[in-house]
Chains A and B, each alone.
Chain A
């Protein structure tokens, strides 16, 4: 995938632990977002950012925190992990929003597999 890097790729957490999923892009994209994918479900938007210093909630934001101090980085924080947060997490970026007339595409990272026990 073009220029979106997620770390770690795999992580096992105990209930109540906190951790941060890292996401970085080198394409100077303004728009970044985090999705989760669960079995039998499509990708669901957790949080997104339209530029440095600007974040907003998506469809399933509870239990997650984000910040955007630089254009390149968009970390996702789990404050107190719960088994319901076991999922595959995808970070994505694009030059602007998905529906912009430029018809730009969203580039996804390879995913982070998180298990909360």
Chain B
């Protein structure tokens, strides 16, 4: 049973436009959420995180929104750049539980 779901395997956007990547979760005990970016042949790189006590966190071009009632979070990238082309993973953890649960990832392609 997949607890973190990224239902869109891929997303293609034009440079300068907004990219919206979505993530749903089923475990109501998750209280910390992270987004990672991964280029081919490299390890994942931390992008941004959000605690369940917040509904929004912003860092430069990246904003994460959390809707706890819907068990849904999204990552907004504005404006999108070709260098943002990568696989984006949503991940979640529960309290002091050290286990990080990942979604399957979404491949973002930003076209020049």
Contact = CB atoms under 8 A, between A and B. Distances in A.
Name the interface size band of chain B: 20 to 34
A54 to B, nearest CB: 10
Contacts, number: 78
Contact of B93 (A44, A98, A108): A98
Contact of A33 (B41, B51, B98, B105): B98
B83 interface: no
A42 B43 contact: no
A12 B7 CA distance: 33
A109 interface: yes
Contact of A42 (B4, B51, B97): B4
**Secondary structure class of chain A's binding surface, majority of residues:** loop
Interface string B56-99: 00000000000000000000000000000000010101111111
Contacts of A41: 104
Interface in A12-56: 31, 33, 35, 40-45, 48, 50, 56
Contact of A103 (B43, B45, B49, B89): B49
A99 B93 contact: yes
Interface of A: 1, 4, 31, 33, 35, 40-45, 48, 50, 56, 58-59, 90, 92, 97-101, 103, 105-111
